[in-house]
Structure 1
Amino acid sequence: MITMDDIIRDGHPGLRQVAEEVQMPPSEEDINILNSLMEYVKNSQDPEISARYNLRPGIGLAAPQINVMKRMIAVNVTDEKGELYSYALFNPKIVSHSVEKSYLTAGEGCLSVDEPIPGYVPRYARVTVKGYDIDGTAVKLRLKGLVAIVFQHEIDHLNGIMFYDHIDKKDPYKIIENAIPIER
């Protein structure tokens, strides 16, 4: 089981590396890693389990965050309508996106960043993501709103990009033109 001790923190060189593609079909080891990423995210959202194991609540986790340089992410988040998006993916990639942007009004956080970093993180309002599920089956997802933001955040980890890299350094709360603000 992954705990907070397994999650590498900001400043670790692994967070700036580009992760390797996972060979398909996935190996037993890769399947176990992907399952453990999802297990962490789900357990961290359960108040009893997260308290018992001292897990910081999260809605997504990427393999590089546990110092595994492979293209794997797990996301477990509900959208604005309460619909659950629970996906563990190998080799996810954004294949198309909207011109329109969006951002979380409260900013973004990250399990690898211990302190809050204020500012708006511009993201695409809508994305189409392709990847492979735990069985190696091709998946295509059309996402918007919070769910699209979470997937972009996790896929950034696979490319060595941190959320705060997107924040305007001179004016962190600069209004992003023609962007949809999302409350969370």
Structure 2
Amino acid sequence: MITMDDIVREGHPMLRTVTKEVPIPPTKEDQETLKEMLQFIKNSQDEELAQKYNLRPGVGLAAPQLGLDKRMLAIHVEDLKGRLYSYGLFNPRIVSHSVEGGYLSGGEGCLSVDREVPGIVPRHARVTVKAFDLEGNEVKLRLKGYPAIVIQHEIDHLNGVMFYDHINKENPFYVPENAKAVDQE
């Protein structure tokens, strides 16, 4: 079982690494790791389990956060309408995105970052992602709003990018012209 002790923290070189593609079909070991990653996120959202195992609540986890040089991520998140987006993905890539931007009004956080980093993190309001699911089947996901922000955050991890890299250094609360807060729609 993955715990908070398994999560590498800010400053770890793996968080700045562009990760390697996972061979498809995935190995049993990679499938098990990805299932565990998804279970960790689900457990972190369960108050009882989070307290029992001292987990910080999260909505996504990428393999580099476990020190793994693999293009794997898990998300488990609800949109504002309560629709659940729960995926374990191999080799996800954004194949198209909206011109319109989106961001979370309260900024973003990260299980690998143990501090508050105030500021607007500009993202795309909508993205289309191609990837392989837990069984190795190709999937195409169209995400908008909060789930789109979450998957972009996790894909960034696969490319060695941290969320605060996107924050405007001179004006952390600068909102780009074509962007709106996706958590206030």
Q: What are the equivalent positions in structure 2 for 1:1-184 lying under 5 Å apart?
A: 1-183=1-183
- Following TM superposition, by how much is the alpha carbon of 1:176 offset from its aligned partner in structure 2, in angstroms? 1.7
Q: Tell me, in whole angstroms, the C-alpha distance in 1 between the residues paired with 2:156 and 2:87.
A: 16
Q: CA deviation at 1:178?
A: 1.7
Tell me how far 1:20 sits from its aligned partner: 0.5
Alpha-carbon deviations, 1:11-47, whole Å to 9, x = none? Answer: 0011000110000000011011101110100000000
Q: Deviations over 1:26-70 (max 9, x none)?
A: 001101110111010000000000100001100000000000110
Q: Structure 1: which 5+ runs fail to align? A: none
User: What secondary structure, in the 3-state scheme, does the structure 2 residue paired with 1:56 have?
Assistant: coil
Deviation at 1:183, TM superposition (A): 2.7
State the distance in 1 between where 2:178 and 2:161 align: 24
Q: Aligned to 1:135, what secondary structure does the other structure show? A: coil
Aligned-residue Cα RMSD (Å) equals 0.8
Output the CA distance in 2 between the equivalents of 1:93 and 1:109: 22
User: Is there any run of 5+ residues in structure 2 with no aligned partner, and where?
Assistant: none
Displacement of 1:80 in angstroms is 1.1
State how far apart, in whole Å, the 2-side matches of 1:98 and 1:37 are.
28
SS at match of 1:44: helix
SS state at 2:150 partner: helix
TM-score normalized with structure 2 length: 0.98
Distance in 1 (alpha carbons) for counterparts of 2:15 and 2:94: 20
Whole-Å Cα distance in 2 between the matches of residues 124 and 5 of structure 1? 32
- TM-score normalised to structure 1 length: 0.98
1:183 match: secondary structure = helix
2-structure distance, mates of 1:51, 1:149: 26
Runs of 4+ off more than 4 Å: none
| CA deviation after TM superposition for structure 1 residue 182, in Å | 2.4
Q: Alignment identity in percent? A: 62
